[in-house]
A and B are shown apart, each in its own frame.
Chain A
Amino acid sequence: MQNDMSTIDLTLPSSSFFNFQISRDRDNDLVAFGLPRMQCANVSVYYDSKLAVDDVNLKILPNEVLALIGPSGCGKSTLLRCLNRMNDTIQGCKVSGKITLDDQDIYASDMDVVPLRVRVGMVFQKPNPFPKSIYDNIAMAPRLHGLASTKAEMDEIVETSLHRAGLWDEVKDRLKQAGTGLSGGQQQRLCIARTIAVNPEVILMDEPCSALDPIATAKIEQLIDELRKEYTIVIVTHSMQQAARVSQRTAFFHLGKIIEVGATEKIFTNPSEELTERYITGHFG
């Protein structure tokens, strides 16, 4: 590791504070059984009286990239934000139905949203690094969640996360510099590194490349493909090309409903539903 790593405060909260263990050695035995990592059953979401998501049933399988596509306002981002309860902060938002993570109801009254958002991380449309050093951007969440007990351990988490995000070689000599000083594509990869630093199980991505140029987009897509080996990824994208490139399954949303979910290749060559066909061929949307 480099010598210029920041000295950090290692006074950590106890991980027993959470209602389940956060482990860096997360086993992925669900893969062997093909069981869904997350499951939405009859999920509806209202913003006050407006129905945004209408009785959605969806399984999210381990180690897949699931793309959510559909015209603006179809409810895909709303559903994505339900998967780690980001909608809790929106006044008037009401979620009904059941969403489970490894069979655990994430809307149960005893569910703590902080560890939930560790297990289900999120990357947003616009890169949003903290106004801190590159090192601290990565170290902040592991520090908060008590994932490292020594500086050496924290250094390792930072280096591993930056490696996984494909950013290490570009920033290893300037870890003390501000994260906001990086290019747009680098900032987005820093945000992904920040997300994976706490070893989530599911990563939610809300149009992660919409503010990036084609090369930066390609780097993120390559990264998504690599991350899939260890994580489950749900991505909302307006680019059907991107959905076709990065995902194994695609779900098409329209007016809050899921019209069709299936293998990406099938959805983009021979969808079962007329509405999907009309959307992907550019007849509306």
Chain B
Amino acid sequence: MNSSFGHHTIHQFDEELKALHTQIIEMGELVLNQLCLSLESVKYMDLSLAQGIIDREKVVDEMEVSADKTICAILVRRCPKGSDLRQVLSASKIVNCLEQIGDKTVKLANFVVLMHTTDQVNTHYFSLEDIYRLGGVSIEIVQSALEAFEELDAEQARQVVQYHLTLDQEFQKALHHLIDFLQAEKSNVNNTVSQVLMMKALERIGEHARQIAELVIYQLEGQEPTHHLPDLVEDFPVD
């Protein structure tokens, strides 16, 4: 039972739901752009790019406030029901996920600023290959989740939920690389902690993208998002 922005008896309601959808797509595009730029800034240790990302975070926050106002107005004015209600509930949570992704991109940018302020741009000893690989996967997941939202495509959303597992595996792999590195180079603990935090930020970005995908499924089909308990595995119990 797909949501539709057309054919409500009250046409203005169609417009309001459509405007909310567009607002979230725009916020998603900005957040995705922030994510791509933050990885680029890490790759090239580009300070001005990193500072631009930090500055633009204000815009992400403003977009969140604006979307919240739209959601609140729809709830008050229209008392939505059925798929309309699910759309508004999903929108509220997706906006929150996007804001969280925005926060994580700032963490990545902050790493670049830290490297510059501590004069370590050319002297950090560890390889960022794992970060680039994790970053690549997280960009793909976020992009795909946003496409699923834009097109209201439950099938694509399910693929995102599945693909998210890849990011988890990449994250665990990267942690093991870091442990090997630390055992060999015990003097680089500070840098390694920074790298773990960056990796964790990327892992969280993927998790938020998965939540967005599950909310798309909820909006379209009414299926409640699942809550996974961590499996008892040999990997690190990170969540």
| Chain A residues in the interface with B (C-beta under 8 A) | 240-241, 244, 268-271, 274, 276-277, 280-285
Given contacts A270-B86, A270-B222, A274-B1, contact A240 B9 (CB under 8 A): no
Distance of A18 Cα from B81 Cα, bound (Å): 46
Given contacts A268-B81, A270-B82, A277-B82, contact A282 B13 (CB under 8 A): yes
* Closest A residue by C-beta to B222: A270
- Expressed in whole angstroms, the minimum distance between the Cβ of B93 and any Cβ of chain A is 15
* Closest A residue by C-beta to B85: A269
Contacts of B77 in A (CB 8 A): none
- Verify if B79 is at the interface (C-beta below 8 Å from A): yes
Q: Which residue, of B10, B79, B80, B81, has the highest number of chain A Cβ atoms within 10 A?
A: B81
Contacts of B81 in A (CB 8 A): 240, 244, 268-269, 280-281
Given contacts A274-B1, A277-B1, contact A268 B9 (CB under 8 A): no
Contacts of A281 in B (CB 8 A): 8, 80-84
A269's contact among B7, B8, B10, B82, by CB below 8 Å, is which?
B82
Contact B1 A268 (CB under 8 A): no
- Expressed in whole angstroms, the minimum distance between the Cβ of B157 and any Cβ of chain A is 17
Contact A241 B82 (CB under 8 A): no
Distance of A162 Cα from B79 Cα, bound (Å): 34
A283's contact among B9, B79, B80, by CB below 8 Å, is which?
B9
Enumerate the 10 nearest inter-chain pairs by beta-carbon distance, A residue then B residue, closest first: A270-B222, A280-B81, A268-B81, A281-B82, A277-B82, A280-B82, A281-B84, A282-B9, A282-B8, A283-B7
A277's contact among B8, B10, B13, B83, by CB below 8 Å, is which?
B83
Contacts of B222 in A (CB 8 A): 269-270
Contact B84 A269 (CB under 8 A): no
Distance of A240 Cα from B79 Cα, bound (Å): 10
Within 128-148 of B, Cβ neighbours of A (below 8 Å) are at none
Distance of A271 Cα from B1 Cα, bound (Å): 9
Total interface residues on B, CB under 8 Å, equals 16
Contacts of B13 in A (CB 8 A): 282
B82's contact among A268, A284, A285, by CB below 8 Å, is which?
A268
- Expressed in whole angstroms, the minimum distance between the Cβ of A280 and any Cβ of chain B is 4
Q: Which residue, of B4, B10, B83, has the highest number of chain A Cβ atoms within 10 A?
A: B83
Contact A285 B86 (CB under 8 A): no
Distance of A284 Cα from B10 Cα, bound (Å): 10
- Expressed in whole angstroms, the minimum distance between the Cβ of A255 and any Cβ of chain B is 18
Contacts of B80 in A (CB 8 A): 281
Contacts of B9 in A (CB 8 A): 282-285
Of the A-B pairs whose beta carbons lie under 8 Å apart in the complex, a sample of 7, sorted by A's number, is: A281-B80, A281-B81, A282-B8, A282-B10, A282-B13, A283-B7, A283-B8
Contacts of B83 in A (CB 8 A): 277, 281
Contacts of B1 in A (CB 8 A): 274, 277
- Expressed in whole angstroms, the minimum distance between the Cβ of B228 and any Cβ of chain A is 22
Distance of A1 Cα from B174 Cα, bound (Å): 82
Contacts of A268 in B (CB 8 A): 81-82, 85
Contacts of A285 in B (CB 8 A): 9
* B 56-82 binary contact with A (CB < 8 Å = 1; else 0): 000000000000000000000001111
Q: Which residue, of B1, B8, B9, has the highest number of chain A Cβ atoms within 10 A?
A: B1
Contacts of A241 in B (CB 8 A): 79
* B 3-23 binary contact with A (CB < 8 Å = 1; else 0): 010011110010000000000
Contacts of A271 in B (CB 8 A): 82
- Expressed in whole angstroms, the minimum distance between the Cβ of B79 and any Cβ of chain A is 6
Known: A244-B81, A281-B80. 13 other contacts (CB 8 A): A240-B79, A268-B81, A268-B85, A269-B85, A274-B1, A276-B82, A277-B1, A277-B82, A281-B83, A282-B9, A282-B10, A283-B8, A285-B9
* Closest A residue by C-beta to B4: A283
- Expressed in whole angstroms, the minimum distance between the Cβ of B212 and any Cβ of chain A is 20
Contacts of A240 in B (CB 8 A): 79, 81
* Closest A residue by C-beta to B10: A282
* Closest A residue by C-beta to B221: A270
